[in-house]
Structure 1
Amino acid sequence: MADQKQNAKALAYNIRWMDRTFRSKAITESLLAPERDKGNITYRDYDASLQFLPGMHRYYTFLFTLGSASFFLLPGPKKWKPQRRLATGASLAMSCYVMGRASELAAHFAFLRSLENPEGFGKAIENVQSQLGQLEHTGLITRPNKSTDDGFSIDENGNVETPSVTSIPDASRVPKTQAAPAAPPSSKWDEIRKKHNPAAHNSAWDAIRQKHEKQQISSEPTPDQQETLWGDDGGDVPSRRTFA
C-alpha cells in the first residue's frame, strides 16, 4: 500500500469543467466508453462515473442559495425594517452558498475516493480534454498529502489532493564546490634572490630584535675598563682616573 502511494501520479480534476462537460448520462457514456474500451477506466469506475458525473450534486450550490429565498416568505421577517431584512437575507444567502459549495466538494471527494484506478481515470479525462480541445488543468490539482489514509484532501480553494511523486534532483547535476586555487609558483628570480639573500625574508620584528642585541653588547664594559673603574682593594676610584 505504501509503494502504491509513493508511485501514484498527479491527477488533474477540475470540478467546473467536469460539471460543464458531463451534463447528461448519454454524453458521459459517449465520452468515457472509448476510454473504457482502451483499458484506461475499469468497468467499475465507468459505472460509477455514469451515476455520479451527471448527478444532482452539480446543482447543490444553486439549490442551497435558492433555498435562502424562503426566508423572505416567513411572516416574522415581513415586520422587520427593510435594512434588517436585507442584511439578514444577504447573510443567509451567503451561508447557504457556502454550504452548497461544501456539499458539492464533498460529493466529488467521495467519488474520487471510490475510484478503483485513479491514475487511469485521470488519463482518460486528459484524453477527453484533448478530444474536445478544452485543456483545463486549473482547479483540482493533486499534491502530496498525509492527512488521510488514502491520501486525498480538500484545501481551502476546493482542490482535492492526492499523493504524487516528488522529484529528486540528480546528484550529477548538482554543482560541486570548487576548491580554492593553489598559490602561484615562485619565479626563477625569486628563487635566486632567496638563495643569495636569505636574510631578506626576515620579518621587521627580527631586524629590530637583532639591532637591540647589538646595542646591548656594545654598551657592556670590557675587562680592562672594569679594572680601571675599580681599584685592587675594591675601593672606589674617582672617575677622572678612568679617562686619564
Structure 2
Amino acid sequence: MDQPPLLPKLSHKSPQDAQVLKQLFQFSYQKWFQNTMIRSEVDARQSLGPGLAAGLITSRDYDQLSTRLGSLRKWYYFQWHNIGPAFLLSPILLLSYAQTPPRRYIVPPLLFLLSVQTTSSLFRVVPAIDLFGVWDKLENPAGVLEAIRNLQPSTNGGIMHGRVPSEFAPDVVGDSSEPGGPPVPSPTETPTSLSEPESASHTVTRWEELRAASKNGGHSSSWDEIRQKHERSRVSEAVKEGNTTF
C-alpha cells in the first residue's frame, strides 16, 4: 500500500515543525476529542476567538480549524460507546475459537477486552488523519499551537475558553486596542530632554548661570571672583580718570 500523501511532506519539514505537529495533534486529541470539550463548530469558534483577536490565528486558519474540529463531535459517540461493536465482535470470535469448556470461561472476557481495545483504536485513526490534514493546510501553525496552549477549561465543566495571551513578540501579537488588527511594532520612548526648544537655552545668560551656581554652593564661586575683578577694574578706572582731571 502507498503511504498517505501527508507523510512524505512531514519528512521535509524542519524538526521544529514536526514537534509543533506532534503537540498540536496530542493536545487537540486529548482536550477536544477525549474530554469532548468542543462538540460543535460554535464551541470551537468561541474557544479560538481570543487567539484570533490576539493575531495568533489568521482568519483562514480560524474558519478552517473551527469547522474541522467542530466536525469531530461525530466521533464522540464511538469513544465511550464502543462497547456495542465489542458485543458484536466478541460472539463471532467466541464461536470461532472457544469450543472446549475451559476456554468458555477464559476466552470470552479476553475477547471482549480485545474487541473494546480494537474498536477504540480503529476509531482513533480517522480523527488522527483528519487532524493531520488540518495541520497541512494551516497558514501559521506556530500561532495556532500557541492559541491552543492558551485554552483554559471552564470551571463548570463546559467548553474550553481561550485567554488572550499577553507575553508575545510584537511581530506576533496585534494591537490590543483593535482586536484582529494588523501587527504593530512596540512603541519606543523618546528622550524628553530634547523636547524643549533651543531658544530657551539662550535666554539664560552666563551671569545668571554663575549667580545660580553661587546660590547653590556654600563657598566662593567663580561668579564671586568675576564680580570682584569687575569691581576692582571699575575702581581703578575711576581713579585714573580722577588723576587726569586734576
**Given the two structures, how large is their TM-score scaled by the length of structure 1?**
0.42
Larger radius of gyration: 1
Larger relative helix fraction? 2
